[in-house]
Amino acid sequence: MKLNERSLAFYATCDSPADNAGFLYKRGERHTAYHRRWFVLKGNMLFYFEERESREPVGVIVLEGCTVELCDSAEEFAFAIRFSGTKSRTYVLAAESQAAMESWVKSLSRASFDYMRLVVRELEKQLEE
């Protein structure tokens, strides 16, 4: 399946329900300042926008093969999305509260197909018993 910017922008802003949405602070890759962005999690795609009302996302993070973990940062309530591999990027995000951070870490940890595969295996195992 081919994805282009237009189809991703449509999916990010369409009326299908989001798994999570809210403001997070995202640390820049080159300039390490934090910027407040509106994030929308749909399936295994984490979209981020300049503002809540923005029509198109500034970026998207495909959450396959990642781990989500708490991290030390100047910002309180910070966590990181890490990908395996030597040249893989780590995204450092911070929530506005402890409850928001816990909600994001939980929903991001469950967003990958690897997690869903694990859940299916566990349910199949329970059915066999």
User: What are the residue ranges spanned by the domains of the chain?
Assistant: 5-128
Q: Please compute the mean of the pLDDT values over residues 85-99 and round it to a whole number.
A: 89
Comparison of pLDDT for 66 and 87, the residue scoring more: 66
CATH fold group of domain 5-128: PH-domain like (2.30.29)
| Rounded distance between C-alpha atoms, residue 128 and residue 5, angstroms | 44
User: Which residues neighbour 81 within 8 Å (Cβ) at sequence distance 6 or greater?
Assistant: 46, 61, 63, 66, 67, 68, 90, 91, 93, 108
Nearest to 54 by CA among 35, 40, 33: 40
Q: Please compute the mean of the pLDDT values over residues 37-43 and round it to a whole number.
A: 96
- Contact status, residue 25 vs residue 75, Cβ threshold 8 Å: yes
- Our measurement of the distance from residue 29's CA atom to the centroid of its chain's CA atoms, rounded to an integer in Å, reads 16
